[in-house]
């Protein structure tokens, strides 16, 4: 079975990907917050709490077949002064 790392997998899109892909892939979810209630229904899905702004993704050998990155810091505030910080944080997530 192919392995899949789902970064930011506790959000809306990530949970729906887990629902659809868990029968076909061995999934490992990395997120800052893990929805334990949701993932209790998917005991074969491995979950890890990880702050990707500060920590690097622990890619083990053998490396996963696929990595889907859904991690992003977002805000509902319409304040342009937050823009630089959001871009900087999201770039750190991508690099880590």
- Residue 65's closest CA among 18, 19, 14, 24? 24
Strand order in the sheet with 2-7: 46-49, 25-31, 2-7, 66-69
The pLDDT confidence band at residue 25, using thresholds 50, 70 and 90, is very high
Q: Is cis: bond before 65, omega within 30 of 0?
A: no
Can you tell me the mean pLDDT for 79-94?
Answer: 74
DSSP code per residue over 1-64: -EEEEEETTTSHHHHHHHHHHTTTEEEEEEESS--HHHHTT-TTSEEEE--TTTS---PPSSPP
Can you tell me the mean pLDDT for 80-92?
Answer: 75
With a cut of 80, say whether residue 76 has pLDDT above it: no
**Cα separation, 5 vs 19, whole angstroms:** 14
The pLDDT confidence band at residue 21, using thresholds 50, 70 and 90, is very high
- Report the Cα 21 to chain-centroid distance in Å: 14
Structure confidence at residue 8 (pLDDT)? 86
Total tally of structural domains belonging to the chain = 1
Mean pLDDT for the chain overall? 85
CATH number at residue 90: 3.40.50.720
Structure confidence at residue 96 (pLDDT)? 67
**Percent of the chain, pLDDT > 70?**
94
Domain range enclosing 83: 2-95
């Amino acid at each position: 079975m192919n392995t899949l790392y789902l970064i930011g997998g506790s959000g809306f899109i990530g949970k729906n990907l887990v629902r659809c892909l868990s029968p076909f892939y061995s999934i490992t979810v990395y997120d800052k917050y893990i929805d334990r209630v949701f993932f209790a229904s998917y005991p074969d899905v491995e979950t890890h709490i990880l702050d990707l702004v500060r920590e690097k993704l622990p890619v083990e050998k053998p490396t996963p077949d696929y990595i889907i990155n859904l991690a992003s810091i977002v805000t509902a505030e319409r304040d342009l002064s937050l823009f630089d910080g959001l871009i900087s944080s999201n770039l750190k997530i991508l690099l880590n």
